[in-house]
Chains A and B, each alone.
Chain A
Amino acid sequence: MLKARLILVLLFVVSFSLATYLQPVRAAREEAGGESGGVLALLLGDGRKMFANQFFAKADAYFHRGNYPSIFDNEPHHEENHMAGEAAHGEHAGEDHDEDEHKLAPAQDWIERFGRHFYPTEHVHLEAGGEREMLPWLRLSAELDPHRVATYTVTAYWLRSRLNKVNEAEAFLRDGLRANPNDPEILYELGRLFYESRQDPVRAKNLWLLARKRWQETEASKETPNKLLLEQILGGLAALEVQAGRPREAIPYLKELKAASPDPAEIQKRIDEILTGAVAPPAKSKE
């Protein structure tokens, strides 16, 4: 009887010890991950990052209305994701397009030639609000990999600039910030939203200053820092000052930009224009 009781006590002690060990481990994992995980994380584990990339590419396939090369095609023209490229550079679809580059290679046999009548082969992009069709895949991509920053910035760009859904774009960017606290790219995109869509230069400036600070903390020390992002942040800050009628305050930003830019002579030209008083406030928004 005593032996049985002792075994019971021993089991209780083992259970308690295990609980005190496992609970902090689990809490630490949840904290480090920044998320509880959800059903998708539970089902897919780290494989969800692979699926997230796949769904991001799927959104680009939708941008091309289903005309997208498979993994068996070794055509180089889809190396750049057009949907993401347009969001990053703000170019309108089709403006900067070499159509010959996107033509299909000649069919090798009658099967391939005949088969091409049963799937899309023309290179076109979604427009006139059709861009909304990409959104489900972008949302799913973000759900699967919340640390994929490009998903938030690209989605926000399409939401605010083409679909006029500024509130939704801001909410999505803030979701991105929660998953990636103080990420300079998301901060920059949020600043762009306030500058271009909400016409709120004060908040845009604060966000871009924070983005610059965060860029210096996180990117500057990297072997290949994202210089394009820094150029965009500094260019935005300089443009803000010029627009606010304080062109001389833009000079420090332009000097910093000159050091990072691949075309310093052009930046120097802009500095000289400000110094000689030849700069007028630019048009407020690109769109």
Chain B
Amino acid sequence: MNKILAVAGVVIKELYRRKDFYILFILTALMTLLLGSVNLFNDDRIVRYLKEICLLLIWLSTLIIAITTAARQIPFEREQRTIFPLLAKPIARWQVVLGKFAGCWLASGLALIVFYGFFALISASREHTLPAAHYFQALWLHWLMLGIVIALTLLGSVALTTPAANVTIVFILSVGILFVGEHLHKVAGRMSEPASTLVTLGYFLLPHLEFFDVRRLIIHDWPLIEWTYIGGATLYGLAYAAFFLLAACLVFRRKALN
């Protein structure tokens, strides 16, 4: 466990040394504040459009941070040849993969806390309420979703040849699932065979990232989600992350490093 945490610690340090997070956070904050300053029919109580845009930017930014951070971990170690001294230490390959995952996931969690803190501040300044439990649910589910994406990216980083291809594929896949994942079976119903079966198979096999997207509930002030469903989503997310991590470990175990 200590070895995994040691590798994770290095990844977290890397996040705050790099400028990606700061740039994305500043952009999100600037755009939100700029839109918040627009006068709409002399009514300063209009807030939901601002919440929607702020959350959209947060989702985009954290997806970019998580994917780019995870995608460069192992390829960068190989490229710089630092993977050899790392593996010369008493650490197994699966521990390196788990350490990289833990680091990326925790770093994304830290970024999420900052982003959601800003979001809470903006919405509280307009709504004069702070539904902390709602925001916690949204943040928790968002973090779980990033866990799946990070695990998938790590798998891509050991299976695909270039980090750029990995980033592109995972980003398109994640955004695609978020947009159409829940509708795949409806789309399949209108298709002919064998495409219909293939799409239905995809519907049941792909991780449904949309479970973790509760933005509409947050924007429109719906009541809390029952905690049992949050628990169900947590198990679902962890299961997919574990599956992708296991696959990454298996691929990395047999991977030639030179």
Contact = CB atoms under 8 A, between A and B. Distances in A.
Interface residues on A, range: 20 to 34
B49 A118 contact: no
6 contacts: A65-B222, A112-B182, A112-B185, A117-B229, A120-B220, A163-B43
A72 B186 contact: yes
B214 A118 contact: yes
A136 B213 contact: no
Interface in A116-132: 117-120, 129, 132
Contacts of B220: 62, 65-66, 120
Nearest to A108: B185
A112 B200 CA distance: 13
Interface in B172-227: 180, 182-183, 185-187, 203-204, 208, 210-214, 216-217, 219-222, 225-226
Contacts of B229: 114, 117-118
B47 interface: yes
Nearest to A129: B45
Contact of A118 (B183, B204, B210): B210
A155 to B, nearest CB: 8
Contacts of B42: 165, 168
A168 B43 CA distance: 10
Interface string A91-122: 00000000000000000110110110111100
Contacts of A112: 182, 185
A136 B38 CA distance: 10
Contacts of A274: none
B46 interface: yes
B233 interface: yes
Contact of B41 (A73, A108, A139): A139
A190 interface: no
Interface residues on B, range: 35 or more
B40 interface: yes
Nearest to B200: A109
Interface of A: 62, 65-67, 70, 72-74, 108-109, 111-112, 114-115, 117-120, 129, 132-133, 135-137, 139, 159, 163, 165, 168, 172
B48 interface: yes
Contact of B46 (A117, A133, A168): A133
B85 interface: no
Contacts of B233: 118
B144 to A, nearest CB: 12
B138 to A, nearest CB: 10
A109 B46 CA distance: 38
B219 A66 contact: yes
B43 A132 contact: yes
Contact of A72 (B45, B183, B204): B183
A141 B252 CA distance: 51
B211 A114 contact: yes
A133 B208 contact: no
A70 B226 CA distance: 24
B193 to A, nearest CB: 18
Nearest to A119: B216
Nearest to B186: A72
Contacts of B40: 135-136, 139
Q: List 8 A-B pairs, minimum CB-CB distance, nearest first.
A: A72-B183, A66-B216, A136-B49, A66-B220, A65-B220, A133-B48, A117-B229, A168-B41
Contacts of A109: 185, 204
A262 B210 CA distance: 48
B237 to A, nearest CB: 12
B204 A62 contact: no
Nearest to B42: A168
Contacts of B90: none
Given A72-B180, A115-B210, A120-B216, A172 B41 contact: yes
A11 to B, nearest CB: 44
